[in-house]
Amino acid sequence: MINFTSFRLNNGLKILVHQDTSSPLIAMNLLYIVGSRDEDPEKTGLAHLTEHLMFSGSVNIPEYDRPLQLAGGENNAFTNNDITNYYLTVPSENIETGFWLESDRMLGLDFSQRNLDIQKNVVTEEFRQRYLNQPYGDALLILRPLAYNVHPYRWPTIGRDISHIQGITLSDVRNFFFSHYSPNNAILSLTGNITPERAYELAEKWFGPIPERSIPPGNIPAEPVQESERRLVVKKEVPSDALYMAWHTGPRKSTDFFSLDLLTDLLAGGESGRLYTELVRKQNLFSEINAYITSDLDPGLIVLYGKLMKDTGIEDAEKAVNELIDRLKEEDPGQDEFEKVKNKFESSTVLLNTSILNKAMNLGFNELLGDPDLINREVENYRSVEKKTLKEAVRKYLINDNCTTLYYLSSRIN
């Protein structure tokens, strides 16, 4: 049970505090409700580039990292489709330094042309390192715009193309910042060696004076229901053929999400998952195979991907995957197997709660979903999924007409 206190400042900033005196540290997580979904389709990568610039100086502080390191702290951040999340841990003695730093960059950034130019280059190198200079690194860059026609999830957070990143101007960053970085568009969560009273006092002092800003409406187009299967074949300089398949899911807040998440655990959770057991161990078709569900706020995807063994034909591989999925539409999973995925979920939840930083991130994200106390009901929600509902979810979502398939083939002759 994670006890927490929540309150809201007059400027709209939501704050959650969970006291855990077993740690000498405090974790501070600041979630901004802005992600790559909020970008102009012709200027993608802006949300992530803005995240980089959040470290390059704010109104009163020339450099973010230095004072935090002096206080014994450590920090990082990530951007995804829906959110930009900043986090730090610091010895509890020095938590006020964290408030000072985070509130100052919410107040405003340095917006220097020089820093923008440097970070554009850093992000370009990140793009190359993570997506272009890795075998199969661009697979999701190819898959997304096939699976989505209109929703901004069709481009990746890093950006659609390096030219987009290079084209971003200082005024793009400034407009983006003031349209989305605001106390009324953020969730602050604190865990560790701190009382709610102390958190309130510091939050009032440092974040209280920051004015509320008006957030333009998102107007994000809903993705129309996919009505027929989509396919693409690419050939690349890679050592073996790979198969990628993606199915649209329901929204994050629907109860179908729990069923589908359990389904991916059943398929790909650990060594005993069905995909690995059947297709790697028994049938020897793949050298590796995996599946996951994206936890996007809007309807996301179940993504399945695997690399083929030398003698496997790609059509046979796909057929084997489909047969495995079709079986789940007809037969209930065994009782032990069904219990197994629920037990595993429970134990992963407990494991995550051993870290104050994970607890802070989870509280913030659950607040975004509408109720931070979901963190305490998660296990129960997964426990209450029935075999019947799981089967219905497979029948509803994992069908051909809802599927996008990518054959990522090796151009080498071997």
Partner 1 sequence: MSSPERIQPPVFPFEPRILTPVRSLHLDSGIPVFLIEAGTEEIMRTEFIFRAGSLKETVPLVSSTVNLMLTEGSENYTSEEINSILDYYGVFSNFFSGKDTAGMIMYFPNKQIEKVSELAYEILFRPLFPGKELSRLMKKRFRWHQVRMEKVQNLAMDQFFESIFGPQHPYGRQVKDIDFENITSGLLKEFHEKYYSKADMAVIISGRIHSETINLLNKFFGRIGTENTYIENPAFKIAGDARKNIKIDKQGALQAAVRIGSSTITRTDPDYPGLKFLNSLLGGYFGSRLMKNIREEKGFTYGIHSGVSSLGLSGFKLISTEVGIENINQAIEEIYKEIRLLQTEPVKPDEIEIVRNYMSGELVRMFDGPFALAESFKAVWEFGLDFSYYKRLAETVKTITPDEIMRLAQAYYKIDDLYEIIAG
Q: Looking only at residues 311 through 350 of this chain, which bind partner 1 when binding is defined by CB under 8 A?
A: 336-337, 339-341, 343-344, 346-348, 350
Under the binding rule (CB under 8 A), the answer on residue 378 touching partner 1 is no
Question: CB of 235: closest distance to partner 1 in angstroms?
Answer: 14
Distance from C-alpha of 215 to C-alpha of 10, rounded to nearest angstrom: 16
Burial category of 414 from C-beta neighbours within 10 Å (exposed 0-12, middle 13-18, buried 19 and up): exposed
Angle of CA points 38, 40, 46, to nearest 5°: 70
Question: CB of 401: closest distance to partner 1 in angstroms?
Answer: 32
Angle of CA points 324, 329, 333, to nearest 5°: 75
Under the binding rule (CB under 8 A), the answer on residue 71 touching partner 1 is yes
Under the binding rule (CB under 8 A), the answer on residue 261 touching partner 1 is no
Question: CB of 146: closest distance to partner 1 in angstroms?
Answer: 23
Question: CB of 159: closest distance to partner 1 in angstroms?
Answer: 14
Under the binding rule (CB under 8 A), the answer on residue 8 touching partner 1 is no
Question: CB of 165: closest distance to partner 1 in angstroms?
Answer: 12
Distance from C-alpha of 67 to C-alpha of 54, rounded to nearest angstrom: 14
Candidates 108, 110, 111, 118; binder of partner 1 (CB under 8 A) is 118
Question: CB of 265: closest distance to partner 1 in angstroms?
Answer: 9
Task: Indicate the residue among 162 and 220 with the shorter CB distance to partner 1.
Answer: 162
Please list, in sequence order, all residues whose beta carbon lies within 8 angstroms of the beta carbon of residue 219, skipping any fewer than 6 positions away: none
Candidates 5, 6, 12, 67; binder of partner 1 (CB under 8 A) is 67
Beta-bridged to residue 19, according to DSSP, are 192
Question: CB of 301: closest distance to partner 1 in angstroms?
Answer: 24
Under the binding rule (CB under 8 A), the answer on residue 201 touching partner 1 is no
Lookup: tokens for 300: 């996301």
Q: How does strand 14-19 pair with strand 5-8?
A: antiparallel
Task: Indicate the residue among 175 and 284 with the shorter CB distance to partner 1.
Answer: 284
Largest CA distance in the chain: 67
Lookup: tokens for 112: 């220097």
Question: CB of 222: closest distance to partner 1 in angstroms?
Answer: 34
Task: Indicate the residue among 195 and 400 with the shorter CB distance to partner 1.
Answer: 195
Distance from C-alpha of 132 to C-alpha of 134, rounded to nearest angstrom: 6
Confirm if 304 and 245 have CB atoms less than 8 A apart: yes
Distance from C-alpha of 343 to C-alpha of 120, rounded to nearest angstrom: 45
Question: CB of 200: closest distance to partner 1 in angstroms?
Answer: 15
Instruction: Residue 200: count other Cβ atoms within 10 Å of its Cβ.
Output: 16
Candidates 24, 218, 224, 251; binder of partner 1 (CB under 8 A) is 24
Task: Indicate the residue among 153 and 244 with the shorter CB distance to partner 1.
Answer: 244
Burial category of 114 from C-beta neighbours within 10 Å (exposed 0-12, middle 13-18, buried 19 and up): exposed
Under the binding rule (CB under 8 A), the answer on residue 40 touching partner 1 is no
Candidates 77, 309, 369, 374; binder of partner 1 (CB under 8 A) is 309
Candidates 36, 84, 97, 249; binder of partner 1 (CB under 8 A) is 97
Under the binding rule (CB under 8 A), the answer on residue 94 touching partner 1 is yes
Distance from C-alpha of 172 to C-alpha of 243, rounded to nearest angstrom: 38
Of 41-49, 54-62, 243-251, 321-329, the window that binds partner 1 (rule: CB under 8 A) is 54-62
Footprint of partner 1 on 180-199 (CB under 8 A) = none
Alpha-carbon 312 to chain mean position: 33
Under the binding rule (CB under 8 A), the answer on residue 150 touching partner 1 is no
Footprint of partner 1 on 206-245 (CB under 8 A) = 206, 209, 211, 237-240
Question: CB of 105: closest distance to partner 1 in angstroms?
Answer: 12
Q: Annotate 34-66 with b (16+ C-beta within 10 A) or e (fewer).
A: bbbbbbeeebbbbbbbbbbbbbbbbeebeebee
Under the binding rule (CB under 8 A), the answer on residue 26 touching partner 1 is no
Lookup: tokens for 237: 């300089």
Of 57-65, 218-226, 319-327, 392-400, the window that binds partner 1 (rule: CB under 8 A) is 57-65
Please list, in sequence order, all residues whose beta carbon lies within 8 angstroms of the beta carbon of residue 304, skipping any fewer than 6 positions away: 243, 244, 245, 246, 267, 268, 275, 289, 290, 291, 321
Under the binding rule (CB under 8 A), the answer on residue 351 touching partner 1 is yes
Under the binding rule (CB under 8 A), the answer on residue 122 touching partner 1 is yes
Question: CB of 269: closest distance to partner 1 in angstroms?
Answer: 7
Which residue spans within 280-402 are E strands per DSSP? 286-293, 301-308
Residues in binding contact with partner 1, number by CB under 8 A: 85
Under the binding rule (CB under 8 A), the answer on residue 270 touching partner 1 is yes
